[in-house]
Amino acid sequence: MVDEVRIQGLGVIDDAVLDLSPGFNVVTGETGAGKTMVVTSLGLLFGGRADPQRVRPGAGRAAIEGRIVVDPAGRVADRVAEAGGELDDGVLIISRSVSAEGRSRAHLGGRSVPVSTLITMADDLVAVHGQSDQQRLLQAGRQRAALDRYAGAELTGPLRAYTAAYQRHRKVGALLEELTTRARERANEAEVLRFGLEEIEKVDPKPGEDAELAAEEERLAHADALRGAATAAHEALLGDPDAVIEAANVVGLLGQARHALEAVRDHDPALAGLADRLAEAGYLVADVGTELAAYGESVDADPARLAAVQERRAELTALTRKYGQNLDEVLEWARRSAARLAELEGDDQRIEELRAEHAELSERLAAAAAELTAVRTRAAERFSRAVTEELAALAMPHARVEVAVSPAGEYGPYGADEVEVRLAPHPGAPALPLHKGASGGELSRVMLAIEVVFAGADPVPTFVFDEVDAGVGGKAAVEIGRRLARLARSAQVIVVTHLPQVAAFADQHLLVEKADDGSVTRSGVTVLDREGRVRELSRMLAGLEDSELGRAHAEELLQMAARERGIAS
């Protein structure tokens, strides 16, 4: 249950605390005193939309903090722990703030959390209903969702099977439509790919071939220079074997130097080491000279080969201009294009396969939709009877509610059904849609009856109603109060009302009053005792707190309500 709510800077409320009790809590006050801010604060506390215009002028921000008593071993406690929050001796602290600029922050059990977490928690804690909820329930989609919620677990399996078939049916249908309607585009794409692959296949490039050919062309184009350089270097190192007079060369000079050192190497180890290094240098230079001779003989100008290399490079360059910046990218394009072409060329077979699958999915979808319709039809009958019975307890004994499940004409995300709640207010009257068949007061009672039925099918610990009795008076108001009191036997009920007949049934009566400056402070929200309740009910009845007739009527209401609730007045 909601134990306490502190509200700061919200609407006309400056700083106020609501102490709530189990059972039936009623909130009353003069028009404009801030009663509706109580419901607004609870809505914000459980993830409602943050409206910066609700922030009290000059306050900077609105802040709401709630203390919720929960079962430490229950599902709510587990979900709080999953969000990283903690309970305080079985009490969950939830807070929400909204700045005047529209920034919103939420905390759950001492941990900052996304607002969406509060919305999720609300499913297990509270059901907040205001006048806007009545308007939303008039929408066809909302009525279908309400029936599905009432159907509960019986609908879960069929809806899951239908959703899977529906999504696959749409996917296959879209692919089939693409293949059949874009046949010409796909044929043109295949032709372009085929031409490119044939061009690449004709050239038949090899990985790394472009780099190898570039190096070979460079060598062939400079063959004479390379050979001349190798020969000159060879002669400098080893001399010219064809020369008549032997010229000085590196190997010969190194030999002379080594010979000069060898004669005296025994006299100094340092000099002996230098002689050894000269010997190593001589061997190294001789090896280089031999390799230069071999290189010089291998280099040969070959104009025919050079022309062939240049032509081959031109072919490869033509490919890289079209299909990639280098040969590796050209080969990758060919790989991807071959796979895509195989896919495009298999369209005919693929179309036949998809048509067969689409037909099979259509049968599955029809069967799943029929199962959904059957479940909804059964739930609609139960729902209609239950709401009609509740209306009898709300001073509409001759009214009849019908929930019509009819074909929608096409498959949608939730089946092929249209769901419409209809009301026949008296015998002989046709059952009409709610927005046509119900007056304002009747609509309020229908909404309350629906919520009471939901309370049995999908119970939550706390119900909040904002003027659900709008447009109602007299005997009907008494019946609404009686029904809310019955609902409060199994759940905490918080009601904002302007009807004394409803307020009389409350277990706890909260009065909201403005201060002289037009704001509501802590002292402006009080829990009324017996005398206070008589004065407030008298004001609500007669407009005068001390009217003798009003006080007598208030006393009578309280005594009647006490008898109904089975307690002493």
Residue 492 φ/ψ, nearest 5 degrees: -80, 135
pLDDT in tens, 325-371: 888 888 999 999 998 888 877 677 788 888 899 999 999 999 999 99
Buried-exposed string 428-467: b where 16+ CB fall within 10 A, e elsewhere: eeebeebeebbeebbbbbbbbbbbbbbbeeeebbbbbbbb
pLDDT score, position 470: 66
Q: For residue 295, give both structure tokens.
A: 């290189």
Closest CA to 13 of 544, 532, 514: 514
Residue type, 502: V
Q: Cα separation of 199 and 214, whole Å?
A: 22
By the 8 A CB rule, do 102 and 437 touch?
Answer: no
Q: Give the H or E element holding residue 27.
A: strand 24-29
Q: Cα separation of 496 and 468, whole Å?
A: 8
pLDDT in tens, 76-108: 888 888 888 888 888 899 999 989 888 889 899
Tell me 55's DSSP state: B
pLDDT score, position 363: 93
Q: Cα separation of 478 and 496, whole Å?
A: 15
Q: Cα separation of 399 and 393, whole Å?
A: 11
Q: Cα separation of 543 and 469, whole Å?
A: 19
Residue type, 462: T
Residue type, 465: F
> 343 in helix, strand or coil?
helix
Q: Cα separation of 317 and 35, whole Å?
A: 81
pLDDT in tens, 407-416: 988 999 999 9
Q: Give the H or E element holding residue 25.
A: strand 24-29
CA 542 to chain centre: 53
pTM here? Answer: 0.59
Give me the residues of the chain with pLDDT under 50, please.
568-569
pLDDT score, position 217: 79
pLDDT score, position 122: 79
pLDDT score, position 138: 67
**Which stretches does DSSP call E strand in 386-435?**
400-412, 415-424, 432-433
Can you name the residues that pair with 105 across neighbouring β-strands? 97
Can you name the residues that pair with 88 across neighbouring β-strands? 91
Q: How far is CA 189 from CA 144, 343, 460, in A?
A: 46, 11, 60
Q: Which residues contact 260 (CB under 8 A, 6 or more apart)?
A: none
Q: Which residues contact 501 (CB under 8 A, 6 or more apart)?
A: 473, 474, 477, 478, 480, 481, 557
Q: Which residues contact 484 (CB under 8 A, 6 or more apart)?
A: 24, 448, 465, 493, 495, 502, 505
Q: Cα separation of 422 and 403, whole Å?
A: 6
pLDDT in tens, 131-183: 555 555 667 777 888 888 888 889 999 999 999 999 999 999 998 888 787 77
Q: How far is CA 139 from CA 83, 369, 425, 477, in A?
A: 34, 22, 20, 26
By the 8 A CB rule, do 406 and 418 touch?
Answer: yes
CA 57 to chain centre: 34
> 432 in helix, strand or coil?
strand
Q: How far is CA 245 from CA 69, 105, 241, 242, in A?
A: 116, 101, 10, 9
